[in-house]
């Protein structure tokens, strides 16, 4: 699809999403950033996917800024609070991590960190997410 229409932000978003979960983080970031450059009103979870990719690359400030942007657009999506909790924890911002964790518990009372990380193909990515969530006080 990108070959046929290199200006299609939706195609970049979709390929970025697939690359993220398959563990190809640099390529995912490139595709997701391109999607946002082409259309900043891209699908509502693009900021979540990009924020997770930044988190996994240990680009925590980028992750924080991206996730905060997405949270503004979709404040009741538990995914943003989940990723923000882990990101704040990794940045050593315990109070903000605790607030994000409380929001996760409020929005998704049955949240379990082990199942959240299960979508990642790379075990190291699952472990990185779970470690951040544990630091934030989630179980």
Model pLDDT for residues 44-58, shown as the tens digit of each residue: 789 999 999 999 999
- Top pLDDT among 115 and 102 is at 102
- Whether residue 74 contacts residue 44, with contact meaning beta carbons closer than 8 Å, is answered with yes
Distance (Å, whole) CA 114 – CA 21:
16
* Contact call for residues 35 and 66 (beta carbons, < 8 A): no
Residue 115's pLDDT band (boundaries 50, 70, 90)?
Answer: confident
SS3 93: coil
User: What single-letter DSSP state applies at residue 109?
Assistant: T
Q: Record the pTM.
A: 0.94
pLDDT band at 39 (very low <50, low <70, confident <90, very high): confident
CB atoms near residue 21 (< 10 Å): 17
pLDDT of residue 12: 94
Q: What percent of the chain has pLDDT over 70?
A: 98
């Amino acid at each position: 699809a990108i070959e046929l229409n290199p200006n299609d932000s939706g195609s970049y978003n979709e390929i970025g999403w697939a690359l993220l979960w398959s563990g190809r983080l640099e390529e995912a970031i490139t595709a997701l950033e391109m999607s946002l450059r082409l259309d900043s009103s891209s699908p509502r979870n693009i900021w979540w996917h990009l924020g997770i990719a930044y988190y996994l690359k240990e680009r925590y400030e980028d992750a924080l800024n991206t996730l905060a942007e997405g949270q503004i657009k979709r404040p009741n999506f538990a995914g943003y609070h989940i990723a923000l909790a882990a990101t704040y924890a990794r940045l050593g911002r315990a109070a903000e991590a605790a607030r994000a964790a409380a929001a996760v518990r409020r929005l998704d009372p049955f949240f379990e960190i082990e199942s959240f990380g299960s979508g990642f193909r790379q075990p190291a990515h699952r472990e990185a997410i779970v470690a951040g969530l544990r630091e934030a006080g989630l179980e």
